[in-house]
Chain A
Amino acid sequence: QVQLVESGGGVVQPGGSLRLSCAASGFIFSTYGMHWVRQAPGKGLEWVTFIWYDGSKKYYADSVKGRFTISRDNSKNTVYLQMNSLRLEDTAVYYCAKDRMRGGTYIDYWGQGTLVTVSS
């Protein structure tokens, strides 16, 4: 069965950095695109970033462009989210999520999420 396990969340000060990891199993990781989606406390879902199945293309929400970087290591079945220059408004549960296809379509599996808290 598909499993996505996020790690790396925690408390960080404004302006700080954090790196999230997502270990995938139960499917051929190298043939699917991957997303990160976040959810601020008590709020709705916000798409953050997407990476093509082979890492050749990456897309970002305007709210994180220039501060966040998505990457993947297909040999380790892992996708990463490097978050720099963190702001209070980046506080959220971050979900790693698998796309149905190689490119961007819909999300068919989600991890359980990791909480990132930006606070002074």
Chain B
Amino acid sequence: EIVLTQSPATLSLSPGERATLSCRASQSISTYLAWYQQTPGQAPRLLIYDSSTRATGIPARFSGSGSGTDFTLTISSLEPEDSAVYYCQQRYDWPPWTFGQGTKVEIK
């Protein structure tokens, strides 16, 4: 089973700042990685898939990069509504489809 490790656990930043979230895979997963956003009380939402492709309707301030074992989600200029937990997920080797443990982004 591929393990995904996200860091940091919590990120506290001000509006307009840049957020950089990391996801590391226990083995190479090529670019088969997605990012999801979950705001409190809501279902997750797909942001990025295949490492760097934005899903439909996702603002351009969200971008993804990486391949192999190291991946990054960048929010270029934080908005208040970006306060959420962000999860990565791999689809390189399944089952199971595995998720990271999440990074909480707090807006000061």
On chain A, the residues within 8 Å of B102 by CB distance are 44-45
Interface residues in B, total, Cβ within 8 A: 24
Flag whether A27 is at the interface (Cβ < 8 A).
no
Name the residue on B nearest A48 (C-beta): B96
On chain B, the residues within 8 Å of A105 by CB distance are 49, 91
On chain A, the residues within 8 Å of B3 by CB distance are none
Q: Give CA–CA (A61, B38) in the complex, Å.
A: 22
Interface residues in A, total, Cβ within 8 A: 22
Q: Give CA–CA (A50, B100) in the complex, Å.
A: 18
B residues 59-108 touching A (CB-CB < 8 Å): 85, 87, 89, 91, 94-102
Could you tell me the dominant secondary structure of chain A's interface residues?
A: strand
On chain B, the residues within 8 Å of A45 by CB distance are 36, 38, 44, 87, 89, 99, 102
Contacting pair B45 A110 (CB below 8 A):
yes
Smallest distance from the beta carbon of A87 to chain B beta carbons, Å?
Answer: 18
Partner of B97, one of A50, A109, A110, A113: A50
6 tightest A-B contacts by CB?
Answer: A110-B43, A59-B95, A47-B97, A106-B34, A45-B99, A106-B49
Q: Give CA–CA (A62, B55) in the complex, Å.
A: 30
Given A106-B34, A106-B49, also A112-B43 (CB < 8 A): yes
On chain B, the residues within 8 Å of A113 by CB distance are 43
Contacting pair B43 A60 (CB below 8 A):
no
Name the residue on A nearest B100 (C-beta): A44
Name, among B45, B85, B97, B98, the residue most crowded by chain A CB atoms within 10 Å (CB to CB): B97
Given A106-B34, A110-B44, also A47-B98 (CB < 8 A): yes
Partner of B94, one of A44, A104, A110, A112: A104
